Amino acid sequence: MVKRGGALNSLDDLNVELEVLRSLLRVAYELHFIKASSLGYIIKQIDEVGKMRGGWAKHYSRLSGGQNRQASSNKDN
């Protein structure tokens, strides 16, 4: 199982990779390796992955935040 902090780091890495991919696709379009319609379709798919990544990051962030609150409340007892 992946640690929650590790999962968030992996999701941050994924976000960087998606940005790199978007940039490389734009370069490929400018060099006429792909058509505008293909670029649009691929970018939409990448954006969808980005939305999923955001949902996963929110989920893991809530999980780790909940544990931190429990740990601090246990210290008070």
pLDDT tens for each residue of 9-50: 899 999 999 999 999 999 999 999 999 999 999 999 999 999
Over residues 47-74, mean pLDDT: 76
CA distances (Å), 16 to each of 3, 5, 12, 22, in order? 20, 17, 6, 10
Q: Are 60 and 8 in contact (CB under 8 A)?
A: yes
The pLDDT score that the predictor gives to residue 65 is: 73
CA dist 62 and 52 (Å) reads 15
Confidence of residue 61 (pLDDT cuts 50, 70, 90): confident
The pLDDT score that the predictor gives to residue 45 is: 97
Reading the block at residue 2, the tokens are 């992946």
pTM: 0.71
The pLDDT score that the predictor gives to residue 29 is: 98
